[in-house]
Structure 1
Amino acid sequence: MKKKLIKQLFALVAVFLMASSLITPHASAASQFPNVEADAAILIEADTGQILYEKNSGAVLGIASMTKMMTEYLILEAIHEKKLSWDDRVGVSKYAADISQDYSLSNVPLLTTEKYTIKELYEAMAIYSANGASIALAEALAGSEAEFIKLMNKKAEELNLGEAKFVNSTGLSNSLLKGQHPKGTKADDENLLSARAVSALAFHILHDYPEVLETAKTPEKIFRPGQQGETTMDNWNKMLPSFPTYGYEGLDGLKTGHTDFAGYCFTGTAERDGVRYIAVVMNAKNNGKSFEGARFTETKKLLDYAFDNYELKQVAPEGKAVKKHESLPVVKGKNKELKVVTKEPVNVLTKKGEESKISLQFDFNPKVVDEKDRIVAPIKEGQVVGYVSAKNKNLDDLGYAVNNGTNKVPVVADTTIEKANWFVLAIRSIGDFFVGVWSDAAANIKNWF
């Protein structure tokens, strides 16, 4: 009887445990990936480029007007390098004007008899995705769209965007360019990138030219108010907080896209409490339906997942020494040690509510050290002598969209160390010789006993 009762108790306990396992998830909330309806998607943290979610992110697909992020990058780069000025006034070609008059596409009207500032054309492109304006900007910088495409593909290579293909400055299918597609491209060519590459492009433009957001977050602007061609430009990014249906707190960029070939696409970025994420969706759908709002509903899933589950932790502030690498040995210098500090803060992503398991890794810059990892003088203040990266073992390692798979932060010299003159080096060499002799002798004497 007693044995039977014990068996019944064990059976009840087993049933209870099984029920508990059904109620309580085995994985943390952060491991429950969202169900994103898109041909491809990716979510990255914008400070480190760390990937939090990806779906078919390496597939090379149509990107439509997300192409204009590369056009923006090159124009902003030209402004910084003073190849162009915002106030420069430029004419437009018949090709750019012809495309701009097609109102089945997103456009502001351009005339060959008028001149436009680079700022006007840039705002039309960034806010309203104006295609004629994009072509006009390409021509202003490179002379022709065909030459501009060369710059686009070269920059894609420099930014390690992988299997990138740019065939025009707008993202339109070449078949929509009225037979005037750029020289060297085909009538049926398309702009192609992977979701991972698109996120990397967004990462670079945000880091290199953060002012891109000042225009990208503008919900509405008038093109050439009071002048011929005046146009109200409503931003196509309906996730900006001021828009009623899809408005999202903290979202301030970056670029929408749509063609029949690419479907509805979006590169969205949002910041809350000092943490920024970048989400990319390509050919987005919602409940199996393809429509404009689908790119926003699917982006919301990704951004909600990020903000609900993760936070960014600073493990080393800017301008501070790295633990265990506060100073580095120096050879051939007036000083034998070099103090080093981080050039930027070292941040790492962690799951909310979980104790992070963070490890730091230090790597020398091979260009400034000898075979024994000693800094070779001379070295200048601010010169990069190494890199520090942080890793959190609590996160699924999905890799990084940029920086060759790591969140490396430069470590720089905190002072200048000049090269010692030949006499000092000679004296040191003699001293090192006798120190070596004495050490060998001491070791031999010790062995006698």
Structure 2
Amino acid sequence: MKKLSIISVFLLSMLMSQSVVFAQHNDQHISMEVNESSSLDLAKNSKSAILIERDTGNILYDKNSDEKLPPASMTKIMTMLLIMEAIEKGELTLDEKVKVSEKASSMGGSQIFLEEGEEMTVDDLLKGIAVASGNDASVAMAERIAGSEEAFVEMMNKKVKYLGLTSTKFQNSTGLPAEDHYSTAHDMAVMAKALLKYEAITNYTSIYEDYLRKGTEKEFWLVNTNKLVRFYEGVDGLKTGFTNEAKYCLTATAEKDGMRTIAVVMGAKTPKDRNNEISKLLDYAYAKFDTKPLYEKNQVVTSFEWLKANQQKVDVVTSDSVSILYPKGTDLDKVETKITIYKDITLPLEKGTVVGKLQVTDGEQVMSETDLMISEDVEHANLLQLFKRTFQSFF
């Protein structure tokens, strides 16, 4: 590959410069730094809590966010993440009908009352998980994706490791009580951040009420277990949780004025405490901070030439939206973006392969870091293409 030149400078209400370098590929995932918020008492009735801005991952508030606790049905954030990944890969379609097994139909706790042998679309099962926290729907989807819930749980824990998380372990796809099944507020926020890359998920988690099997004798009324979807402006997800051991939990997300936040509380004593503390966290975020969008998801940020590829110009795009976060009233100084393309890239490459990273800095500290990926499949060049390129290089 030829070395890339410096990308043009442009203004986003501030001077932003970009440079491109090459580096060895070391797996790096989400990195967050805690802001000075220890003096705030926003979650006094919960065991742990965290508040982050989604694009940057910056922590705005933290209370015991690394304490391992049962996540209850917030477990389904990971279940939904794997469902959305399967849809994106083409392994599932929303209109595909999934046949319900005896195991799935026999799940206790929250359910949408699936019957053994019943067929329901992925679209409706996802709705049943996101809105009604259906344990039966979760197991049905787990079995469809992995063949069994046990195999799906292996996928869940593999994804946990991929995200760089060390304080989460799942034993099921539902969050029903199980020994050695735990997570943290911090880890749940990171999983929520990953899930929200799939913008379509909020089409489900924002539903307050709907119906399954509408117009039939077995019509089922769905009401969202997350009441803030209806009563807090901007909230459009994500997932509640409750067991006697976990108490009341909620991972919530809201978007206002282009700024998306994620707030998590675990171990609240009552549902009122849970909702009040999430509301306080969100109020704090939108009263104190602003964001500046820099890139949209899948936006081309650079390209490079590759002699041995079937297409010489390979576009590199953002894997997620990119923003900077700053306290309201801040005079924005010079902001720099640095694009790093890894050296150890080999052909062939599938669409979505991570080939580098984009860092946003304030000149000293890294403000955000986002994976860069290729926007389409790249194969080896054939002999004719190589011959033409070699011939042209002489002129």
TM range (shorter): 0.7 to 0.9
Aligned to 2:172: 168
Displacement of 1:58 after TM fit?
1.6
Which structure: greater strand fraction?
2
SS, match of residue 266 in structure 1: strand
- Equivalent-residue separation in structure 2 for 1:213 and 1:312 (angstroms): 20
2:182 to 192, 210, 214: 192
Indicate the structure whose relative CO is greater, using CA pairs within 8 Å and at least 6 residues apart: 2
| Cα distance change of structure 1 residues 411 and 313 upon mapping to structure 2, 3 Å threshold | farther
The one-letter code matched in structure 1 to 2:287 is: D
- Equivalent-residue separation in structure 1 for 2:354 and 2:155 (angstroms): 29
- Equivalent-residue separation in structure 2 for 1:226 and 1:122 (angstroms): 19
Aligned to 2:369: 407
Displacement of 1:212 after TM fit?
0.5
Aligned to 1:391: 361
The worse-fitting range, judged by mean Cα deviation, of 265-274 and 118-127 is: 118-127
Displacement of 1:409 after TM fit?
6.2
SS, match of residue 131 in structure 2: helix
The one-letter code matched in structure 2 to 1:45 is: E
SS, match of residue 141 in structure 1: helix
| Cα distance change of structure 1 residues 341 and 109 upon mapping to structure 2, 3 Å threshold | closer
Aligned to 1:153: 157
SS, match of residue 44 in structure 1: strand
The CA deviation string for residues 153-205 of structure 1, in whole angstroms up to 9 with x for no partner, is 1121222222321101110113xxxxxxxxxxxxxx25311211111111111
Displacement of 1:295 after TM fit?
1.2
| Cα distance change of structure 1 residues 393 and 191 upon mapping to structure 2, 3 Å threshold | farther
Contact between 1:255 and 1:266, CA under 8 Å: does it hold in 2?
yes
2:89 to 77, 81, 94: 81
| Cα distance change of structure 1 residues 331 and 297 upon mapping to structure 2, 3 Å threshold | closer
1:125 to 129, 150, 162: 129
Displacement of 1:332 after TM fit?
9.5
Structure 2 length-normalised TM = 0.74
Aligned to 2:11: none
The CA deviation string for residues 385-414 of structure 1, in whole angstroms up to 9 with x for no partner, is 8644223589xx8x98xxxxx42464999x
The CA deviation string for residues 325-372 of structure 1, in whole angstroms up to 9 with x for no partner, is xx99x9999xxxx99998577521111112134542525324179xxx
1:273 to 245, 252, 257: 257
Identity %: 36
Aligned to 2:102: 94
- Equivalent-residue separation in structure 1 for 2:129 and 2:115 (angstroms): 16
- Equivalent-residue separation in structure 2 for 1:296 and 1:142 (angstroms): 34
The CA deviation string for residues 136-160 of structure 1, in whole angstroms up to 9 with x for no partner, is 2112222221111111111212222
- Equivalent-residue separation in structure 2 for 1:68 and 1:171 (angstroms): 7
- Equivalent-residue separation in structure 2 for 1:160 and 1:254 (angstroms): 21
Contact between 2:252 and 2:262, CA under 8 Å: does it hold in 1?
yes
- Equivalent-residue separation in structure 1 for 2:301 and 2:88 (angstroms): 30
SS, match of residue 139 in structure 1: helix
Which structure: greater helix fraction?
1
The one-letter code matched in structure 1 to 2:146 is: A
SS, match of residue 193 in structure 1: coil
Query: What is the alpha-carbon root mean square deviation over aligned residues?
Result: 3.7
The CA deviation string for residues 99-132 of structure 1, in whole angstroms up to 9 with x for no partner, is 2xx4xx2222122243222222221111100111
The one-letter code matched in structure 2 to 1:267 is: T
2:193 to 174, 180, 203: 203
Displacement of 1:98 after TM fit?
2.0
- Equivalent-residue separation in structure 2 for 1:411 and 1:111 (angstroms): 42
Aligned to 1:15: none
The one-letter code matched in structure 2 to 1:89 is: K
- Equivalent-residue separation in structure 1 for 2:100 and 2:225 (angstroms): 24
Aligned to 1:307: 286
Question: Larger Cα Rg: Structure 1 or Structure 2?
Answer: 1
SS, match of residue 225 in structure 1: coil
Q: In the alignment, does 2:63 pair up with 1:55?
A: yes
Q: In the comparison of the two structures, how many residue pairs are matched?
A: 338
- Equivalent-residue separation in structure 1 for 2:87 and 2:199 (angstroms): 13
- Equivalent-residue separation in structure 1 for 2:363 and 2:61 (angstroms): 17
Aligned to 1:36: 43
Aligned to 2:19: none
1:365 to 319, 332, 341: 341
- Equivalent-residue separation in structure 2 for 1:316 and 1:82 (angstroms): 26
- Equivalent-residue separation in structure 2 for 1:353 and 1:79 (angstroms): 42
| Cα distance change of structure 1 residues 110 and 190 upon mapping to structure 2, 3 Å threshold | farther
Contact between 2:50 and 2:265, CA under 8 Å: does it hold in 1?
yes
| Cα distance change of structure 1 residues 226 and 385 upon mapping to structure 2, 3 Å threshold | closer
Displacement of 1:62 after TM fit?
0.9
Aligned to 1:223: 212
| Cα distance change of structure 1 residues 30 and 307 upon mapping to structure 2, 3 Å threshold | farther
Aligned to 1:143: 147
SS, match of residue 250 in structure 2: strand
The one-letter code matched in structure 2 to 1:59 is: E
- Equivalent-residue separation in structure 1 for 2:254 and 2:283 (angstroms): 10
Aligned to 1:298: 277
Displacement of 1:219 after TM fit?
0.4
- Equivalent-residue separation in structure 2 for 1:279 and 1:264 (angstroms): 14
SS, match of residue 228 in structure 2: coil
Q: Structure 2: 5+ residue runs without aligned partners?
A: 1-34, 346-351, 376-384
The CA deviation string for residues 48-69 of structure 1, in whole angstroms up to 9 with x for no partner, is 2111111111222110001111
| Cα distance change of structure 1 residues 366 and 117 upon mapping to structure 2, 3 Å threshold | closer
